[in-house]
Amino acid sequence: MKITAISIFPEYFAPLELSLIGKAREHKIVDFKAVNLRDYTYDNHHTVDDTPYGGGAGMVMKPEPWGEAIDAVIDKSDQLIDLVILTPAGKQFNQRVAEEFSNSAHLLFACGRYEGIDARVADFYRSAKNVRVHEISIGDYVLNGGEVAAMVIIEAVTRLIPGVIGNPDSLAEESHNELGSVEYPSYTKPALWRGHAVPEILLSGNHGEIAKWRTTQGKLRSKGEPHK
């Protein structure tokens, strides 16, 4: 999978060299590249934003640098590109979307700052060949820019690619694979710690009863109730 992130802060993506995605890159499963949006400006000040039409507070990112930067990525690619425009007004990211994105050949993240990217950028690429546009938010709160959101999505998506996670069984069992279910609580040795014992059922060796207990506990947890 190719992953490209366009941003005015490409250094934000340095941690992707570490940990999971680091491994995925080493094994050539994921090819990540951060692109500096300012490389696609032509004025002396490398301007990427301007005041909003219609008035109001804040600044809007100009469409021209975005168009140039995205075109440069598209022109170098012969694959279908999933252009992910990060905006708090987008569709909320979840595990279903992560699974969809994990099948992409090329994820291209447009990380906006300020009051977002001129809306015509999304409109333009919606009618472009070989591009699918996704406007995505990672939750109901406001971040200063899409960079951290892109990192969240990259981590959620890349770990679903075969070969990125050491033990694929840990993918099959984990939280959110079924709608509304959240993972059951986990315990390891010692069996008694600071007066808190591991639930007896887990020591019973009865795998049928253990599976039932875990389902119940997972459901309690997903309602925000503590495990019993």
Decide the pairing of beta strands 131-137 and 81-92.
parallel
* Sequence-distant (≥ 6) Cβ neighbours of residue 21 within 8 angstroms: 30, 32, 154, 155, 158, 164
First CA to last CA distance, the chain:
42
218 binds ligand 6GU (CB under 6 A): no
Which of 134/214 has CB closer to ligand 6GU? 134
Which span (69-77, 83-91, 117-125, 198-206) binds ligand 6GU, by CB under 6 A? 83-91
| 65 near ligand 6GU, rule: CB under 6 A | no
Q: How far is the CB of 132 from ligand 6GU (least distance, A)?
A: 17
Q: Among residues 73 and 110, whose Cβ is nearest to ligand 6GU?
A: 110
How far apart are CB 47 and ligand 6GU at their closest, in Å? 20
Least distance (Å) between residue 15 CB and ligand 6GU: 18
> How far is C-alpha 171 from the chain's CA centre?
16
Q: Which residues of 63-78 are buried (b: 16+ CB within 10 A; e: fewer)?
A: bebbbebbeebbeebe
Size of the site for ligand 6GU (CB under 6 A): 12
Q: Which residue, 46, 67, 26, 32, is CA-closest to 164?
A: 26
In which residue are the tokens 């639930």 written?
199
Q: Examine residue 217 and tell whether it contacts ligand 6GU (CB under 6 A).
A: no
Residue 119 interacting with ligand 6GU (CB under 6 A) = no
Contact flag: residue 52 with ligand 6GU (CB under 6 A): no
Q: Are residues 85 and 110 in contact, defined by beta-carbon separation less than 8 angstroms?
A: yes
Binding mask 128-147 for ligand 6GU (x = CB under 6 A): ---------xxx-xxx-xx-
Q: Which is nearer to ligand 6GU, 94 or 170 (CB)?
A: 94
User: Which residues on adjacent β-strands are paired with residue 108?
Assistant: 4, 83
Residue 139 or residue 168: which is nearer to ligand 6GU going by CB?
139
Q: Does 86 bind ligand 6GU (CB under 6 A)?
A: yes
Measured distance CA(218)–CA(227) in Å, rounded? 8
Residue 58 makes contact with ligand 6GU by CB under 6 A: no
Beta carbon nearer to ligand 6GU, 53 or 141 = 141
d(CA 156, CA 151) in angstroms, rounded, equals 9
Contacts with ligand 6GU by CB under 6 A lie at 86-88, 137-139, 141-143, 145-146, 149
